[in-house]
Chains A and B, each alone.
Chain A
Amino acid sequence: MSQHDRTHHAKIATGKGDPQCFKGTAGGPPKFKVGDRVRIKDLPDIFYTRCQVYTRGAIGEVAVVTHESPAPEDEAWGHVDHSEWFYIIRFKQKDLWPEYPDNFANDTLQTEFSERWLEAV
């Protein structure tokens, strides 16, 4: 058991909460701000990710700059040494689904990404 008694989430987050416990750990300010247009990178998606493949290559806009946290790809194996900024990105449904009906052209979808998945347009 001792090998798992590392500085684990339960200890880091006690009294603070998660992701609040990672505040200030991204090593700098967020790269993007609300309203910025970004494209979702198409990085390899083996083993684990929370970046839905259907968003890859699509362009959306930053709706909220949310918090700092280790990226899911790291945290999923317990690595918490490096944090990133997270963002809620808003897409037009039409930009995600080619067959989305024109009469619902204003529909949007919002989902969350860590900074590594975003590039400036």
Chain B
Amino acid sequence: MSSSTRDQVMRHLKAVVEIQPPVQQTGKAPYASDITHELFRAYTRTPHDVGGEVDVPVEWTEEEAEAWGYRAYVTTECLAWRGVWCAEERRRMQNVDMGTTQYLGLPYYGRWLLSAARVMVDKDIVTLTELINKIDEVKKRHEPAR
């Protein structure tokens, strides 16, 4: 049983590479008969579980901390102190729920910030309409005067 699990795991890691990134695949929304168990597992793989995926070496660079990143972090901690979420809920929302494209494509603290907005909408702290209107108001404030 174990060796067949190991075979499955190794095939799974190859299948994951073949579907990435799914936005580049032709033929959207396939028939169910096109999706094998192996493909289903590859598509539903949680984005943060990257171990074993083929990739190029990452160049290690030191990044300077930015003020907005600290503010994003403090915002998420305040939400935890008020009982809106715990660290594991936050990790789910910022590392998994947003999907592979956003997980790999956005800056680290960008995902913290986006998940903070998401949890406030999900848990009725603000409505999406209120959030949209607020973002629009702030955006206009920062637009150059015409």
A52 near B92 with CB under 8 A, answer: no
Which residues of B from 51 to 90 have beta carbons under 8 Å from A? 51-52, 80-89
- CB-CB < 8 A to A70: which residues of B? 88
| B-contact 0/1 string along A43-67, CB 8 Å cutoff | 0011111001110111100000000
Is B9 among interface residues, defined by CB-CB distance under 8 A?
yes
Determine the main DSSP class of A at the interface with B.
loop
A53 near B45 with CB under 8 A, answer: yes
- CB-CB < 8 A to B5: which residues of A? 42, 56-57
Of all chain A residues, the one with the shortest Cβ separation from B5 is A57
A78 near B96 with CB under 8 A, answer: no
A52 near B51 with CB under 8 A, answer: yes
B92 near A54 with CB under 8 A, answer: no
Report which of B1, B46, B86 forms a contact with A9, defined as CB distance below 8 A. B86
Is A10 among interface residues, defined by CB-CB distance under 8 A?
yes
**Interface on B for A, CB 8 Å cutoff?**
1-6, 8-10, 12-13, 41, 44-46, 49, 51-52, 80-89, 91-92, 96, 123-125
**Interface on A for B, CB 8 Å cutoff?**
1, 3-6, 8-11, 18, 39, 42, 45-49, 52-54, 56-59, 70, 72, 75-78, 80, 97-98
